[in-house]
Amino acid sequence: MSRRVTPLLNLNGIPSPLITQTSERVSMCLISAKTWGHCSDARVLCLHGIQDNCGTFDRLIPLLRRGFYYVCVDTPGHGRSSHYPPGFRITMECYALAVKRVIDYLKWDRFKCIGHSMGGIIASLFTSLYPEHVASLVMIDCAGPEPVHAQETVKWLRTACDGLLTIERKAASGSPPSYTREQAVDTLITKRLSKLTRDSANVLVERSLVDSPGGRHAFCMDQRLKVFYNQMFTPTQYMAVVSSIRCSVLYLRASDNPLQKSPGNKLVRKIYKLNPNVRVVKVNGNHDVHLNHPERVADLINTFLLSERSKI
């Protein structure tokens, strides 16, 4: 394994905390990250959502309290991390295992976690599998994954298999679309279900592109992420997973996310609410409220982190 650390400019113009970019080669996959703070401070692992990257926390973390060491990871297939080997469907188990490999490399025994969307779902699964490691968890607008009822298992599995094969055929047939940087920003703004401000899109695009011929760029996201990534737990299995979470959980639900109103996601929230360690709070904004309007969630997260600080 190799490690490379390069100091970067502090986003909020303050000499401290130090922001660095780190790359870790873990089990044949290069995992990149950005960090804020000092490694001797209380540890916080931050996990972004699907098709995003660790830049999703660039506007939130400068508003969070000092005295914490924030490690924001580009999960495999995102940002500046490498992709998983071809030939299989990427699932939540893959990402939970990636988290375990990262913390083993960092030699972290106990830490706090903040996850947005899929990142919160990954963190939730990891916390249920390895409760001894996670002191507290913040989940930011995690709409899913929806449980799969037993009678629908074959339908969803067939959909996932066909989706993977379609993605593989497209990847083999030609090069991905290319854009100017401004076109890439416009694409993020116009095609994303959750609307981003232009400032937010500019933040995400910094780690979303690779160079193409002619001075153009292509999105670097692993296309397999467009395939259904759920573990396909039944409601009973999902309840068993969530009930295994022992730490305190702050579950922030965005008010302006239509997906949160679906029957499947209402069931998900009901399952989380059955765990007495989970507190659900609605915040004003859309799915990317932490990036578009980080001030709306920063105080809630600060209060939660400080109240749980002594438990590390």
**Do 140 and 114 form a contact (C-beta atoms < 8 A)?**
yes
- How far are the Cα atoms of 23, 142, 217, 271 from residue 280, in angstroms, in the given order? 34, 11, 40, 12
From the number of C-beta atoms within 10 Å of its C-beta (0-12, 13-18, 19+), residue 304 rates as buried
Q: Answer left, alpha or beta for residue 178, where phi above 0 means left and psi between -120 and 50 means alpha.
A: beta
Beta bridge partners of 139: 115, 251
Sheet containing 278-286: give its strands across: 3-8, 19-26, 29-36, 68-73, 42-47, 111-116, 134-140, 248-256, 278-286
Alpha helices in the chain, H assignment, sequence order: 92-106, 118-129, 153-173, 181-191, 198-205, 235-243, 263-273, 289-292, 295-307
Give catalytic residue positions: 117
